[in-house]
Amino acid sequence: MSVSSLDESGSCVQRSSDYAYSPRGQQKRVKQRKRRGRRINILGIWQPQVKFDDALMVGSLKTATFLKLMDWQAIKAQQQLEQTGQLTVIVLDNDSVHRSKLSQQQQQRWQQQGLLLFFLPPYSP
């Protein structure tokens, strides 16, 4: 069995205003421009010490893009299954794109190609 993990990360030109100093008792206020730059996202599928597949996109990750990426992974999984008999497992979080109805409808087809998805449990602090 071949196990990989999948995750996304994004960045934009504007600096994040998540952290800022403010004197005790005063609410932090950070002005932002009305027009913000477009976000750049990367989706990575990593199998430690073996491979790293990635996809770079402008704008947020949409279900249609996710499905194309997973179809690509399913083709690779099918090739691996035919050559080695090994299934491919991708571990991923519960992002709404990963759990969408369209994604769920494709999972049986992906399984037939040798690609299994393993969802992490929901985050609990």
Say what the pLDDT of residue 101 is.
96
Per-residue pLDDT tens over the stretch 37-86 = 688 899 999 999 999 999 999 888 899 999 999 999 999 999 999 999 99
Q: Is 90 exposed, middle or buried (0-12, 13-18, 19+ CB in 10 A)?
A: buried
Q: Alpha helix locations (H) across the chain?
A: 63-84, 101-112
Beta bridge partners of 119: 92
Say what the pLDDT of residue 79 is.
97
* Domains parsed from the chain with CATH numbers: 2-9+37-119 (3.30.420.10)
Is the pTM higher than 0.75? The answer reads yes
Say what the pLDDT of residue 4 is.
96
Say what the pLDDT of residue 60 is.
83
> What confidence category does residue 22 fall into, taking pLDDT thresholds of 50, 70 and 90?
confident
What mean pLDDT do residues 20-31 have?
Answer: 73
